[in-house]
């Protein structure tokens, strides 16, 4: 009989290879959110609805490219604030803060964007595997994955399966999707988006909720191509835009998680 401890050890062994392809620190990066981010009423209301409504939802918050000039960007701070609040409230959450590794040594057929996309995928697979119940002995087989887009179809199948076996309430927070836009990743990004959209907007599992939040500092080709404006908040820094984001006074972004 497989004990829970044995099952956990087997899963750790099966996911060990995935960790070679992403930076674990990008799952929950050390970003100071103690000062909070001040949001306009429009953005705050949409975020509040996203958090508290007992329905699956997919929401994007996109800021102008100039927001990327500060590190971390304000959109990244928004994502980090919500992530910190979700974790503090004990909510099952998977996350990743995407980036491009400018120093990586590229193999034939690789691009920096494709490696960043694979890092996102493998990090999600790892986190979802860790969430499986101790008595679930049907561990995913990651043996076929090789860190290239050649095995992307198998990765998509595995992600679909793990999302279907996720806890009944799941938050998925992804920041920086705009970094992954490239001709080399367009098809795979579309497939990933379609899968997340299916689980977060067409989830027909009774009583189960999947919420996906994407934040980008700059235009994401994937988002603008695949999402309707109803699912997306476009914010501006400064000026008369009523949906603007500005830094400054404390605002508890995550207070809604405790409602």
Q: How many CB atoms lie within 10 A of CB 157?
A: 13
CB-based contacts of 198: which residues, under 8 Å, 6+ apart?
A: none
SS3 assignment, position 100: coil
pLDDT at 160 (0 to 100)? 96
The pair of three-digit structure tokens given for residue 224, joined into one six-digit string: 């603008």
List the domain boundaries for the chain.
Answer: 4-258
Phi, psi of 255 (to 5 degrees): -60, -25
pLDDT at 65 (0 to 100)? 64
Q: Answer for the pair 178, 217: CB distance below 8 angstroms, yes or no.
A: yes
pLDDT at 257 (0 to 100)? 40
The pair of three-digit structure tokens given for residue 238, joined into one six-digit string: 């400064």
pLDDT at 251 (0 to 100)? 36
Rounded average pLDDT per 10-residue block, the chain, 259 residues: 69 85 94 70 83 86 67 86 90 96 89 97 97 86 94 97 93 95 96 92 70 90 79 65 32 37
CB-based contacts of 54: which residues, under 8 Å, 6+ apart?
A: 209
Classify domain 4-258 by CATH number.
3.40.50
DSSP structure class, residue 186? H
How far is C-alpha 215 from the chain's CA centre? 9
Q: Answer for the pair 220, 9: CB distance below 8 angstroms, yes or no.
A: no
pLDDT at 236 (0 to 100)? 67
When computed from its CA atoms, the radius of gyration of the chain, rounded to whole angstroms, is 18
The sign of the dihedral angle between the CA atoms of 29, 34, 39, 43 is: positive
CB-based contacts of 96: which residues, under 8 Å, 6+ apart?
A: 22, 26, 27, 119, 120, 123, 124, 174, 175
pLDDT at 174 (0 to 100)? 97
pLDDT at 253 (0 to 100)? 33
């Amino acid at each position: 009989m497989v004990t829970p401890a044995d099952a956990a050890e087997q899963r750790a062994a099966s996911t060990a290879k995935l960790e070679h392809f992403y930076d674990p620190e990008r799952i929950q990066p050390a970003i100071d959110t103690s000062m909070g981010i001040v949001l306009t009423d429009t953005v705050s209301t949409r975020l509040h609805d996203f958090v508290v409504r007992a329905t699956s939802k997919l929401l994007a918050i996109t800021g102008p490219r100039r927001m990327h000039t500060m590190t971390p960007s304000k959109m990244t701070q928004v994502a980090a604030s919500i992530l910190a609040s979700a974790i503090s409230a004990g909510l099952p959450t998977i996350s990743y803060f995407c980036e491009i590794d400018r120093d990586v040594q590229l193999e034939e057929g690789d691009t920096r964007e494709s490696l960043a996309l694979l890092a996102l995928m493998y990090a999600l697979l790892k986190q979802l595997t860790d969430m499986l119940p101790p008595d679930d002995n049907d561990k995913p087989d990651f043996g076929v994955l090789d860190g290239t887009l050649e095995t992307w179809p198998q990765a998509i199948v595995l992600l679909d399966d793990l999302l279907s076996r996720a806890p009944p309430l799941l938050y998925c927070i992804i920041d920086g999707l705009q970094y992954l836009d490239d001709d080399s990743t367009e098809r795979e990004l579309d497939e990933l988006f379609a899968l997340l959209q299916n689980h977060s907007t067409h989830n027909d599992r009774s009583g189960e909720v999947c919420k996906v939040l994407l934040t980008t500092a700059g235009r994401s080709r994937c988002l603008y191509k695949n999402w309707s404006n109803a699912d997306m908040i476009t914010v501006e820094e400064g000026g008369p835009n009523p949906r603007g984001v500005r830094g400054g006074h404390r605002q508890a972004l995550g207070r809604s998680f405790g409602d």
